[in-house]
Homo-oligomer: A and B are copies of this chain.
Amino acid sequence: MPYNPPIAQIMLAMQSAGNLGAQGPGDLGAEDAAAILSEAGRFAAERIAPLNWTGDQHPAKLVDGTVVTPPNFAQTYRDWAAGGWNSLTGPAAHGGQDLPFLLLAACTELWNASCMAFALCPLLTTGAIEAIAAHGSDEIVQRYLPKMISGEWTGTMNLTEPQSGSDLSQLRCKAQRTPDGTYRLRGAKIYITYGAHDWTSNIVHLVLARLDDAPEGTRGISLFLVPKILPDGAQNDLQCQSLERKLGIHGAPTCTMVYGDNGGATGWLIGEENRGLACMFTMMNNARLLVGVQGVALASRATDAAISFAKERRQGRGPDGGSAPTPIIRHPDVKRMLTQMRAKTAAARMLCMATAAAIDASARAPSAEDRKAAAARAALLTPLAKAYATEIAVDVTAAAIQVHGGMGFIEETGVAQYHRDACILPIYEGTNGIQAIDLVSRKLGIAEGRTLAAFLQAARTALAACAGEAAAEVWIADLRQVSDQLLQAPNSALSLAAATPFLRALAALVAAGYLADASRLAQGTKVQHEAETDAAYFIAVELPAAVATAKTAMAGAAVLLAANFGG
């Protein structure tokens, strides 16, 4: 299935919600961004997209202790890295291009829409680079960053153990100090994406482990860099023990990694002892956004496939009569599905681009005050972007199957793969339930609620211009009523039980505001009609439904907390 990169739609999101070109002199301009995106889109369509079905049908496999990735994955990766695509946001001091995270987010959509199983590896490398850049010693930074930024080496995140998934306090992986200042690690980690592969000569593992004398719980976790190949060229004491057989992303090896089976894997401390979780969150926050972008990518690709199919497939007469079988896109119910899919995708893209822009501003804004405000916006937006974009990715890819009818259920058609791949998104990098808890218990109260209030006010202004003052006021008031209740006791069982419906509603409200703004910005461009339709449909249908869900969140929470499942 050919991939048609939605450059104009991504540019619109970057320019409206992402504020591209409005930050002032010295920043990336819209023209440059569009040129880079077009190049990225070309590589994605021509080189990466052909890998998608191949990777699904020829999963990564473990052969004699070595992981063999699907045909052409390794060569494509090397060419991709050679094109400079891995170094977009890396620090210039270490060979990076120091471009905005906004641009990385946009390119991340293109790589993942063309082949998510392929694009996962660079996504994790990006996170590892961030953690090392922020917390690594000079020696570590010098040794690893240049080659990770160039893409010569890749990175991984090692958090999960069988008994320790969302709950990192139960980590058992052990680390011992050695006299030379390095550490010996022993333990097993599961679900390690690209923990082993045949793309590069070295793989840089970031591993959470616990020192013998560490306090219990999350305050006793440290972060270590554990390379596959040691600086002296020797193989470190680590191996990929097995690969998981998964619902989707078959092309990406999901490894069980065993460290220290032969005495101990050599690791270097990143950051301070027992402060590993904070270091890990440096990379995790941006990774959460990028997982949201993966959701946008799959939703966009599936929508595109469904639209193409619906234009070709002829069944029945359209509502305008005629005897010839009509393209099913003319059937109102099919058009409904496609309109909804496209609007949800656009909404998710807006949230992600707004988050990326806030991350940029948190690092680049001229004043400390502005940087702090931007960091607060990024903190509040991240769970919205991750949870909303990944939830709609599951829905939209399922709808794409439905548009294809019986053919959608046949694997060869290819659309089922988007859905299978999407099913991991609400789970990894913090389940969507955890995003909702994060939002309610930690993010709503940022700056005494002023960050939230600013988002509500911005959405109100945008929606008033589009749907009228009265409607906008009602939506805002409904959301504010729930958020006020949540803020009174953000960690209560009631608030936690209401967190997910509230997140959905807040995400829809904020996204609706962005779509309204974008539809104005799009006037006169070739995406004007699409942007107007997205905004109009989302505001007419998705937003009221989401607000209705928020309104029943507290009543529903009270009911479900009283539920008893026996046993």
Q: Tell me the A residues contacting B by CB distance below 8 Å.
A: 160, 163-167, 169-170, 190-191, 244-248, 307, 310-311, 314-316, 319-320, 325, 329, 331-340, 394, 398, 401-402, 405-406, 408-412, 416, 419-420, 423-424, 426-428, 431-433, 436-437, 491-494, 496-497, 499-501, 529, 533, 536-537, 540-541, 544-545, 547-549, 551-552, 555-557, 559-565, 567
Chain B residues with CB under 8 Å of A562's CB are: 533
Pairwise interchain contact A533-B412, C-beta atoms closer than 8 A:
no
For the complex formed, measure the closest distance between the CB of A246 and the CB atoms of chain B, giving whole angstroms: 5
Chain B residues with CB under 8 Å of A165's CB are: 315, 405-406
Pairwise interchain contact A433-B557, C-beta atoms closer than 8 A:
no
Chain B residues with CB under 8 Å of A329's CB are: 565
Query: How far apart sit A315 and B169, CA to CA, in the bound complex (Å)?
Result: 9
Closest to A164 in B: B315
Query: How far apart sit A391 and B565, CA to CA, in the bound complex (Å)?
Result: 24
For the complex formed, measure the closest distance between the CB of A377 and the CB atoms of chain B, giving whole angstroms: 24
Pairwise interchain contact B409-A426, C-beta atoms closer than 8 A:
no
10 CB-based A-B contacts, threshold 8 Å:
A169-B316, A170-B315, A247-B401, A333-B436, A394-B398, A401-B427, A533-B562, A537-B563, A541-B559, A545-B549
Query: How far apart sit A163 and B407, CA to CA, in the bound complex (Å)?
Result: 11
Pairwise interchain contact B565-A311, C-beta atoms closer than 8 A:
yes
Given the known inter-chain contacts A338-B565, A410-B244, please indicate yes or no for A552 contacting B559, CB distance below 8 A: no
Pairwise interchain contact B556-A541, C-beta atoms closer than 8 A:
yes
Closest to A549 in B: B545
Main SS at interface, chain A:
helix
Pairwise interchain contact A540-B559, C-beta atoms closer than 8 A:
yes
Q: Which of A244, A245, A559 has the most CB of B within 10 A?
A: A559
**In the complex, which of the residues B332, B338, B423, B547 contacts A409, with contact meaning CB atoms closer than 8 Å?**
B423
**In the complex, which of the residues B320, B423, B559 contacts A339, with contact meaning CB atoms closer than 8 Å?**
B559
Chain B residues with CB under 8 Å of A334's CB are: 433
Pairwise interchain contact A247-B433, C-beta atoms closer than 8 A:
no
Chain B residues with CB under 8 Å of A557's CB are: 332, 336
Query: How far apart sit A58 and B473, CA to CA, in the bound complex (Å)?
Result: 57
Pairwise interchain contact B331-A563, C-beta atoms closer than 8 A:
no
Closest to A245 in B: B411
Chain B residues with CB under 8 Å of A245's CB are: 410-412
Pairwise interchain contact A427-B409, C-beta atoms closer than 8 A:
yes
For the complex formed, measure the closest distance between the CB of A217 and the CB atoms of chain B, giving whole angstroms: 8
For the complex formed, measure the closest distance between the CB of A490 and the CB atoms of chain B, giving whole angstroms: 12
Chain B residues with CB under 8 Å of A412's CB are: 245
Chain B residues with CB under 8 Å of A547's CB are: 548
Pairwise interchain contact A556-B537, C-beta atoms closer than 8 A:
yes
Query: How far apart sit A231 and B529, CA to CA, in the bound complex (Å)?
Result: 63
Query: How far apart sit A500 and B560, CA to CA, in the bound complex (Å)?
Result: 28
For the complex formed, measure the closest distance between the CB of A62 and the CB atoms of chain B, giving whole angstroms: 15
Chain B residues with CB under 8 Å of A420's CB are: 247, 420
Query: How far apart sit A413 and B533, CA to CA, in the bound complex (Å)?
Result: 41
For the complex formed, measure the closest distance between the CB of A122 and the CB atoms of chain B, giving whole angstroms: 21
Pairwise interchain contact A332-B408, C-beta atoms closer than 8 A:
no
Chain B residues with CB under 8 Å of A436's CB are: 333
Pairwise interchain contact A316-B166, C-beta atoms closer than 8 A:
yes
Query: How far apart sit A412 and B533, CA to CA, in the bound complex (Å)?
Result: 43
For the complex formed, measure the closest distance between the CB of A298 and the CB atoms of chain B, giving whole angstroms: 14
For the complex formed, measure the closest distance between the CB of A423 and the CB atoms of chain B, giving whole angstroms: 6
Given the known inter-chain contacts A325-B170, A408-B427, please indicate yes or no for A540 contacting B565, CB distance below 8 A: no
Pairwise interchain contact A335-B563, C-beta atoms closer than 8 A:
yes
Pairwise interchain contact B426-A402, C-beta atoms closer than 8 A:
yes
Query: How far apart sit A553 and B541, CA to CA, in the bound complex (Å)?
Result: 7
**In the complex, which of the residues B311, B325, B544, B560 contacts A332, with contact meaning CB atoms closer than 8 Å?**
B560
For the complex formed, measure the closest distance between the CB of A254 and the CB atoms of chain B, giving whole angstroms: 8
Given the known inter-chain contacts A423-B401, A423-B409, A492-B319, please indicate yes or no for A541 contacting B552, CB distance below 8 A: yes
**In the complex, which of the residues B191, B545, B555, B561 contacts A540, with contact meaning CB atoms closer than 8 Å?**
B555
For the complex formed, measure the closest distance between the CB of A27 and the CB atoms of chain B, giving whole angstroms: 33
Query: How far apart sit A244 and B501, CA to CA, in the bound complex (Å)?
Result: 39
Pairwise interchain contact A536-B561, C-beta atoms closer than 8 A:
no
Chain B residues with CB under 8 Å of A337's CB are: 433
Pairwise interchain contact A191-B423, C-beta atoms closer than 8 A:
no
For the complex formed, measure the closest distance between the CB of A164 and the CB atoms of chain B, giving whole angstroms: 8
For the complex formed, measure the closest distance between the CB of A58 and the CB atoms of chain B, giving whole angstroms: 14
Pairwise interchain contact B427-A325, C-beta atoms closer than 8 A:
no
Chain B residues with CB under 8 Å of A555's CB are: 540-541
Chain B residues with CB under 8 Å of A319's CB are: 491-493, 496
Chain B residues with CB under 8 Å of A160's CB are: 406
Chain B residues with CB under 8 Å of A408's CB are: 423, 427
